[in-house]
Chains A and B, each alone.
Chain A
Amino acid sequence: MRSLGSHPFQCDIHGLKILAERVRAGNVRAVSRLISLLENHPGGREVLRLLDGTTRAMIIGVTGYPGAGKSTVVTRLVSFYRRQGLMIGVLAVDISSPVTGGALLGDRIRMQEHALDHGVYIRSMATRGHHGGLAQATGDAALVLEAAGYDVILIETVGVGQNEVDVVDVAPIVVAVVAPGLGDEVQAMKAGLLEVAHIVIVNKGDLPDADNTLRNLREWCPNVLRTVATTGEGIPELAAAITAYQQSRAVGHVGEARNC
């Protein structure tokens, strides 16, 4: 068993209390161990009661088609919020092989500029057979990060099609990332992903087809922005839209939540 500082980690109630205390003190290794515990032992959710959350984090879901640029958008948002001095947690979900159970978790590749920043915690999670675009324990992991004092929690879903919308249950704000050339406006008219997103961004907005995609989507969705995540273009506007949406929710305009 891995020790936590001078305290060996024991999976009994006393051990869990120590672990929870360390999580609440912001200890990174305790956060990591507890997330593993929740991933590996679904029965271990009892421990969440020990976290006694009094802090409130802003939880933002980032979802969208495979290859649309979700990880790059997330890493840009991390930089943006870090400049405001906020502590950021990232949960990046990738798919487990349905054949072997293995997974190649590669979202970090685009986030490694933050690997030395102690104000940023990044955790890759594999779906382990769970459908819906998230891992079973992703919501619980967000609670752990919240208890550890992270101000903003970004949840990146697997690259999704149309029916993987679990992120809505975990994140009050959902950003859908689409890219030009991935389908005509009929895709936007269909039910699913875009329907549950509060903000839609057309990433890779410097591609020739981007204007068309923007125009098509704006016929159906009120809140569509253009970004070029590789350069950071449009990220401040995205953050402003997130804040505006959060404020409208706070004053009870949740009826306007539906976007497309």
Chain B
Amino acid sequence: MAIASVPLRILIGKVGLDGHDRGVKLIARALRDAGLEVIYTGLHQTPEQVVNTAIQEDVDAIGLSILSGAHNTLFRRVLELLKEQEAGDIVLFGGGIIPDEDATALTADGVKVLFGPGRPIQEIVTFVKGLKPHG
């Protein structure tokens, strides 16, 4: 496989209190295998940590896994902080147990896409690989 000259950089992590990290690790690994540079932050991140990390690492996108039910608060807080830091061009996407009506509202507010349970991992890889590098 040809190595892309400038790999996309992406932050993958979990925000909030739930500790179910099997899925997020699978996704981090799949994106690595797809040729991306994946900054994996691990569990229990706050939105503030996520946004500071994203800026220091100069990532093109942030992917967050939330299985705690606190998705409405957490995704919106990340969007708000990105805007505050004038980093609104960093794409935010996510996954988790998120009811359809919440997902619709969150995507309307600026979350690029939400992947629910059962979506094939290749779909996530295809989405991320389709993102444009910034700068």
A interface vs B, CB < 8 Å? 1-5, 9, 28-29, 32-33, 35-37, 40, 96-97, 99-106, 108-109, 112, 115-116, 121-124, 126, 128-129
- Closest chain-A Cβ to B29's Cβ sits at a distance in Å of 7
Q: Mark B28-44, 1 if CB is under 8 A from A, else 0.
A: 11011111111111100
Is B37 within 8 A of A100, CB to CB?
no
Given known A-B contacts A109-B41, A123-B56, A37 and B86 have beta carbons under 8 A apart: no
Q: A36-B58, A40-B6 are in contact. Are A105 and B39 (CB under 8 A)?
A: yes
Interface contact A103-B38, CB-CB below 8 Å: yes
Q: Are B39 and A2 in contact (CB under 8 A)?
A: no
Task: Tell me which of B45-53, B61-69, B100-108, B110-118 binds A.
Answer: B45-53
Would you call B134 and A105 a contact (CB within 8 A)?
no
Closest to A129 in B: B3
**29 pairs of residues in contact across A and B, judged by CB atoms under 8 Å:** A2-B89, A3-B86, A5-B86, A29-B87, A36-B9, A36-B135, A37-B135, A40-B5, A96-B37, A97-B32, A100-B3, A100-B35, A101-B1, A101-B4, A101-B35, A102-B7, A102-B33, A102-B34, A103-B38, A104-B28, A105-B40, A106-B40, A108-B53, A112-B42, A112-B53, A116-B49, A122-B56, A124-B57, A129-B3
Q: Is B55 close to A, CB under 8 A? A: yes
B55's partner among A3, A32, A104, A106 (CB-CB below 8 A) is: A32
Instruction: Please determine whether B32 and A103 come into contact, CB atoms closer than 8 angstroms.
Output: yes
CA distance A112 to B41 in the complex (A): 7
Does the CB pair B58–A32 fall under 8 Å? yes
Complex-state Cα separation, A150 to B29, whole angstroms:
33
Q: Which residues of A contact B52 (CB under 8 A)?
A: 115-116
Binding site for A on B (CB under 8 A): 1, 3-7, 9, 28-29, 31-42, 45-46, 48-49, 52-53, 55-58, 85-87, 89, 134-135
A9–B86 Cα distance when bound, in Å, is 13
Contact B35 A2, beta carbon cutoff 8 Å: no
The reply to whether A126 and B7 form a contact with Cβ atoms under 8 Å apart is yes
Which of B1, B36, B58, B87 counts the most chain A CB atoms within 10 A? B58
Q: B49 contacts which chain A residues (CB < 8 A)?
A: 112, 115-116
A2 to chain B: which residues have CB within 8 Å?
87, 89, 134-135
* Cross-chain contact of B57 among A100, A101, A123 (Cβ < 8 A): A123
Whether A112 and B45, one on each chain, are in contact in the complex, defined by CB atoms closer than 8 angstroms, is: yes
A109-B135 in contact (CB<8A): no
**Option from B34, B35, B134 in Cβ contact (under 8 Å) with A1:** B134
- Residues of chain B with a CB closer than 8 A to A105's CB: 37-40
A128 neighbours in B (Cβ, 8 Å): 7
